[in-house]
Structure 1
Amino acid sequence: MRKPLLAVITAAATLATFAPPAEAAGATLTVNVAQPFRPVTHVASGGLYGLAENSRPADSTLLPIKVNSLTQPAPGVGQRPNGQPPGGDSLLVAPQATRVGAGEFIRMPDIYPDFPYRWVSWNDWLAKVNTMVNARLSATTVTNVIGWELWNEPDWTWNTAAAGAFNDGWVRTYRAVRALDTLTPIVGPSTATYNRSWMQSFLTRARDTGTLPDVICWHELVNPDRIAADLADYRNLESSLGISPRRVSINEYAATSEVDVPGRIASYVAKFERGGVESAHRAFWYEYGTMNGLVVNNNQPTGTWWLYKWYGDMAGSMVTTTPATQTGLDGFASYDGSRKIVNVVFGNESGTNTVNLTGIGALGASVRVTLLSTPSSGRFTAVTAPTTISTTTRTVSGGQLSVSVPNMSVSSAYQLVVEPVSGVPAYQQRYEAENASVFRAQRLSAAGASGGGYVGRIDNSGTPRTDSYVDFVVNVPAARAYTMTIGYANATGATATQGLAYNGGAWSTVSYPPTPAWGQFGATIATSVTLAAGYNVIRLAKGSPHFAGGTGYAELDYIQLT
């Protein structure tokens, strides 16, 4: 929900000033490491208009936070958010989004310069739809577009008097897009808030006309406390209407008073992860080129950037966190089984509070516990590093550990890292496929897969809208050649192939000899990759620009760099 600086905001989305939660100090967050519930995919590491041009902000600020996806303006953007010149054209920023592993929703009404959008006529709008879709179809090297967002906040920006009812307008626009592009997912209705009666009317009309969105979208801009109830209500509504479960995106989240407050953002991310959303994007309130306030002054990190860096460091599985209430202390956590690292990020409470960890027996009887914090620095003050509060060695009893966190600030975020006292690899070597950026394939689960998950159905190639690939964002300590081992399955009975490229370089081909069955792992192949020190992006593809296409089929379990 980006607005001119003197915005007119509907009462339903009025944004109150952030205040500390009512819950008294002394709260407890419970983390059950033995209860994973989904693979780490960094669902909430995304942004509305996160990219300004092809290199602003710099890749070096985006790769560590593992950007999941973005909502960017339409090709030929006219939108002037907050009085700035038009920018962030989805097709122009696609090379950078691809370099950092991010998908893009294209927001179609941003072809208009004004906000709220100034309706002209149906002839004008449908002509613009044709222009936008044809521009995307002509961009034959762009493969990261993951959805057309047909409109934005129709619950207050749609001109019913001039354009007719929105539900009818949705049907008309949906059919216009599908007449040209039958493949790209459609996203909507993208309302400013979740409203059951509004959503019921929309879904009923879309169901009855065969125009249901592939991705259901709305915005959570007031506070995070209602997220769980909104998601639960939507699922109940969907079921009651006989609609098959849709993927859910919250492609604008956090109010102006919250978006730069790490403690508050920790509560948002926790609720998105627990609620099972596929993606969530930071709202755009200010300037282009800062990833919505995460960087400042020539790509220096703000305090909130460090929260997303901690999030980006998560690997393996998200594990269950249980707050005492929806309104106070909350957080999200992961467990990387290959390194035996528990990573907890939390906040939104003051005073002395407690993180209780259970199910950590696999870490051993003695563990190293590191506690860090990052402040609410705002969007104009750089924070060069988080603050290390303590590093201690603790004894685990019965697979449990209780950590007291003193003197918390409600606006700060905190990271708790628990790991064995010895034997932890110096750098992450194993990267699970289900943690990677997955395009036109599916994350699946199997007991025999490393980490319990894998990526299968990597089976599309031939056009930029169906190219199927997996991008691994890896971080290595030195520039050199690494042996890359790939865990896989291939039950075709014949050798399958995929393309391999890294950092946008030349393609080579990897071959996967047949294995006994799908979803059963243990087979590996090895190849060599020459990587730069720091972050690199490794792509394994059935189809991709400048690659002729793989043969047969292979499922990916993990890659390992040694």
Structure 2
Amino acid sequence: MRPRASSLMLALTVVATSVTVAASPAAAAGATLTVNVAQPFRPVTHVASGGLYGLAENSRPADSTLLPIKMNSLTQPAPGVGQKPNGQPPGGDSLLVAPQATRVGAGEFIRMPDIYPDFPYKWVSWNDWLAKVDTMVRARLNATTVTNVIGWELWNEPDYTWNTAAAGAFNDGWTRTFRAVRALDPQTPIVGPSTAVYSRSWMQSFLTHARDTGTLPDIICWHELQNPARIAGDIADYRNLEAALGISPRRISINEYAAPAEVDVPGRVASYVAKFERAGVESAHRAFWYEYGTMNGLVVNNNQPTGTWWLYKWYGDMAGNMVTTTPGGQSGLDGFAAYDPTRKIVNVVFGDEAGTNTINLTGLGALGSSVRVTLLSTPAGGRFTGVAAPTTVSTGTRTVSGGQLSVSVPNMVATSAYQLVVEPAAGVPAYQQRYEAENASVFRAQRLTSASASGGGYVGRIDNSGTPRTDSYVDFVVNVPTARAYTMTIGYANGTGATATQGLAYNGGAWSTVSYPPTAGWGQFGATVSTTVTLRAGYNVIRLAKGSPYFAGGTGYAELDYIQLT
């Protein structure tokens, strides 16, 4: 998505302008957001911490700005990119930025039509397009050390950019392109249709044709660029349509979100993230409106964070499970929250409302009768203003009654975002020691649930190896206070009846082997093994792999519950 002179862009500009003037109804002060800590609904996976064209070549922005926000995934241009967004030279080639994306734990969708220089794309011919498809797919297959490609995006905004007069109907073009990709790469997921807006009639036509031709995408995608209030309705409508057409549930990615005047407004972004989490999307990517190499405006001037970066940093600090948040009334106030049961930390991020508002928390019984409450804020300074740190609004000790606590937040600014952290007054560990596998970056394995697992979730079916398209691994982004050797304890299950093995590497270093003796059965946890890892101070990436570049491959099918660093 790039700025353009079109009716769609004009519509977006009108909506976006209204956001900067008044991000929420003027008469909506006194709103309430309810957080039910005892009602988890999915593991923390930082689904909305992603970006369209978020990375540029030569490690821009720096790893140090990306690791704290726990990037989920990216949409990057095709190998041999020709696209010149906003008049810039081509950049962000998916294969060239893959090493950095891998270092920070992010998967990549490859946007295929960005092989063309113009936007809207200028169609040449079917011979030209299919030759380009062949070249792009072969380039990816030849990149044998690249393992983080999680999808081929066959086209972008076909409801706006597809040239029906020259190329024929899009549905037929989708089928033809799908089959060309699958002939060379039968394994990498396919993403689409990636429309500029959600339209039931458009989607129904597409899905029906894709179903009848055996070319359904593995990941359904469209863009939410106009108003976060649409998200829940659009996704519910899609799910109803899917069921009506007899199509098994697809994973959903919203790989462009937020209009130009919203994307750098932390309060508005909080509303988008809340709705994506609540609706159960797998990934969501910040829209690209401006320049390469800034993660869509999150950093400026030698990798200094902007106000919006801090919202994603708070998001990145979340661990454990997302818990239910319920906005009250017709106000703009919305937010998302997580509870980490190992540290007993509740983390709430919210915004998009002005005045004095209230956060009501329930289900706090596990934190005890006395808690420390810290409230922070981050401003909407825009993409050219560095913000060295969030502002501490207040901190103090409060009494919990019946597992409930009400926190008044005075003088809110609608464009700012706020973080509320609630933890036991007696204190929490100095640093996060336990990292749940289901919170990690999971490649070609599955997040599953078990009553015996720490936090209720684990990663299983880590059972692929042999090629960069099937290698199966889990990347843990960890943050430790000092450079030293740490004991790493791994919670696991292994129902094979024989010892299983995986590769262990961290920060791109040498591989070693972890052995997992057999346990009582699959999904039955309690067993642990321990090893030693030597980590640098700050952020590190630890990989446990069944298969990975430079690692010959593990044996058996050990399931991962957590790692713990002490």
Provide TM-score, normalisation by structure 2: 0.98
Q: Secondary structure at the match of 1:101?
A: coil
Q: Verify: 1:451 aligned to 2:455, yes or no.
A: yes
Residue in structure 1 matched with residue 8 of structure 2 by the alignment: 9
Shift of 1:246: 0.1
Deviations 1:155-206 (CA, angstroms, capped at 9, x unpaired):
0100000000000100000000001000000000000000000000000000
Residue in structure 2 matched with residue 322 of structure 1 by the alignment: 326
Which of 17, 20, 26 in structure 1 is aligned with 2:23?
20
Task: Please list, as runs of the form range in 1=range in 2, the aligned pairs for 1:441-480 lying within 5 A after superposition.
Answer: 441-480=445-484
CA 1:420/1:259 → structure 2, altered by over 3 Å: closer, same or farther? Answer: same
Shift of 1:2: 2.0
Shift of 1:21: 1.5
Shift of 1:386: 0.1
Identity across aligned pairs (percent)?
86
Deviations 1:72-120 (CA, angstroms, capped at 9, x unpaired):
0000000000000000000000000000000000000000000000000
Residue in structure 1 matched with residue 93 of structure 2 by the alignment: 89
Residue in structure 2 matched with residue 38 of structure 1 by the alignment: 42
Residue in structure 2 matched with residue 372 of structure 1 by the alignment: 376
In the alignment, the residues of structure 2 paired with residue 359 and residue 248 of structure 1 have an alpha-carbon distance, to the nearest angstrom, of 30
Task: Please list, as runs of the form range in 1=range in 2, the aligned pairs for 1:113-512 lying within 5 A after superposition.
Answer: 113-325=117-329, 328-512=332-516
In the alignment, the residues of structure 1 paired with residue 71 and residue 330 of structure 2 have an alpha-carbon distance, to the nearest angstrom, of 26
Shift of 1:487: 0.1
Q: Secondary structure at the match of 1:280?
A: strand
In the alignment, the residues of structure 2 paired with residue 510 and residue 357 of structure 1 have an alpha-carbon distance, to the nearest angstrom, of 42
Shift of 1:9: 3.5
In the alignment, the residues of structure 1 paired with residue 67 and residue 201 of structure 2 have an alpha-carbon distance, to the nearest angstrom, of 40
In the alignment, the residues of structure 1 paired with residue 255 and residue 59 of structure 2 have an alpha-carbon distance, to the nearest angstrom, of 22
In the alignment, the residues of structure 1 paired with residue 253 and residue 212 of structure 2 have an alpha-carbon distance, to the nearest angstrom, of 23
In the alignment, the residues of structure 2 paired with residue 20 and residue 77 of structure 1 have an alpha-carbon distance, to the nearest angstrom, of 36
Residue in structure 2 matched with residue 72 of structure 1 by the alignment: 76
CA 1:304/1:7 → structure 2, altered by over 3 Å: closer, same or farther? Answer: farther
Q: Secondary structure at the match of 1:411?
A: coil
8 Å CA contact 2:267–2:353 kept in 1: the answer is: yes
The one-letter code of the counterpart of 1:223 is N
Deviations 1:122-174 (CA, angstroms, capped at 9, x unpaired):
00000000000000000000000000000000001000000000001000000
8 Å CA contact 2:31–2:331 kept in 1: the answer is: no
8 Å CA contact 1:73–1:108 kept in 2: the answer is: yes
8 Å CA contact 1:15–1:256 kept in 2: the answer is: no
Shift of 1:8: 6.4
The one-letter code of the counterpart of 2:2 is R
The one-letter code of the counterpart of 2:298 is L
Provide TM-score, normalisation by structure 1: 0.99
The one-letter code of the counterpart of 1:505 is G
Q: Secondary structure at the match of 1:97?
A: helix
In the alignment, the residues of structure 1 paired with residue 331 and residue 147 of structure 2 have an alpha-carbon distance, to the nearest angstrom, of 40
Deviations 1:245-279 (CA, angstroms, capped at 9, x unpaired):
00000000000000000000000000000000000
Shift of 1:422: 1.6
Residue in structure 1 matched with residue 52 of structure 2 by the alignment: 48
Shift of 1:504: 0.2
In the alignment, the residues of structure 2 paired with residue 134 and residue 278 of structure 1 have an alpha-carbon distance, to the nearest angstrom, of 27
CA 1:263/1:109 → structure 2, altered by over 3 Å: closer, same or farther? Answer: same
Where in structure 2 are there 5+ consecutive unaligned residues?
none
8 Å CA contact 2:156–2:193 kept in 1: the answer is: yes
Q: Secondary structure at the match of 1:444?
A: strand
The one-letter code of the counterpart of 1:57 is P
8 Å CA contact 2:35–2:337 kept in 1: the answer is: yes
8 Å CA contact 1:13–1:193 kept in 2: the answer is: no
Shift of 1:3: 3.3
Where in structure 1 are there 5+ consecutive unaligned residues?
none
Shift of 1:423: 3.7
In angstroms, what is the RMSD of aligned CA positions?
Answer: 1.0
Q: Secondary structure at the match of 1:9?
A: helix
In the alignment, the residues of structure 2 paired with residue 326 and residue 196 of structure 1 have an alpha-carbon distance, to the nearest angstrom, of 26
8 Å CA contact 1:48–1:71 kept in 2: the answer is: yes
Superposed structure 1 runs of 4+ greater than 3 Å apart = 6-15
Which of 46, 55, 60 in structure 1 is aligned with 2:64?
60
Query: Could you tell which deviates more after superposition, 22-31 or 404-413?
Result: 22-31
The one-letter code of the counterpart of 1:87 is G
8 Å CA contact 2:331–2:353 kept in 1: the answer is: no
Q: Secondary structure at the match of 2:8?
A: coil
Deviations 1:371-393 (CA, angstroms, capped at 9, x unpaired):
00000010000000000000010
